Amino acid sequence: MGVRNRFFKRYINNLADDERFFRIKMIDILLIIVAVTALIYVYWLNTNSNLKIGFGFFIAIATVGYVIGKYWITTDDIETEAGITKLILLDEKGAGIKEWYIQGETSLLIGKSSKHSEVDIDLSDAEYASLISKQHAVLNYADGNWYIEDIDSKNGTGIKQAYKSAKSRLEAQEPYRIGTGDVIYIANTKILCT
C-alpha cells in the first residue's frame, strides 16, 4: 500500500507537467526570436527581392504548420464517456485470457504477488511472467483519467495508444495518461484498456 500512495502523491504534485509546460513555452519564445531575427534580416537588411518572396512563402507555410501542429485536436484530447472500466490480459494472438474490473478504484499496483507482497493486477501466471518485476508499474486515477507509471522495473513498461501504430517505452517514475483502447506492455505482456 505504501508504494501506491507514494507514486500517487508524486502525480498529485504534478511537477513533471509543470516542467514540460515551461520547456514548451521556452521553445515557443526561441522560435519567435529566430523568426523575428530572420524577418529583420530578409526585409530590412537584404535587397534581393527573390529572397524576400521565397522567405515570405516559407514563413506562411511554417506558420500554418505550426498552428496546425499546436492547436489541432489530438487523440489525447478525445474523451470517452465511460472511460476505462476494465483491463484485459491478452495472449499472443490478441485474445483476452483474464480480466480486471477497475471502476471505482484509485490506485492499482501491477506486478507479481508473492508470500511477502500482494499486487492488484497479478501477472504471475502470464506467459512472460519471468520478465515482470514483483512491483512493475502502478495505475493511478485522478481528475477523471487513468495514468500509468513504471516503478523502475527491470524490463520496462510500454504503451501503444489506440489511434497510433507505434508503441513507446515509458520513462521510469513518469506518469503517462492512458485511455480506452490503449495497450499497456508490462515487459512483453499485453494488457488492453477498455
Q: Nearest CA to 39 among 7, 15, 62, 72?
A: 62
pLDDT < 70 positions in the chain: 1-20, 71-82
**What pLDDT does residue 3 have?**
52
B/e letters for 3-39, b = 16+ CB within 10 Å, e = fewer, are ebeebbebbeeeeeeeeeeeeeeeeeeeeeeeeeeee
Q: How much is the pLDDT for 120?
A: 95
- Residue 25's SS3 state is helix
Q: What is the pLDDT at residue 56? A: 84
- Write out pLDDT tens, residues 92-125: 888 999 999 999 999 999 999 989 889 999 999 9
Whether the predicted model's global pTM rises above the 0.75 cut: no
Strands 107-111 and 135-142: antiparallel
Residues forming beta bridges with residue 138, ordered by sequence position: 109, 149
What pLDDT, on a 0 to 100 scale, did the predictor assign at position 15?
A: 44
What pLDDT does 174 receive? 93
pLDDT of residue 72: 67
Rounded to whole angstroms, how far apart are CA atoms 171 and 67? 29
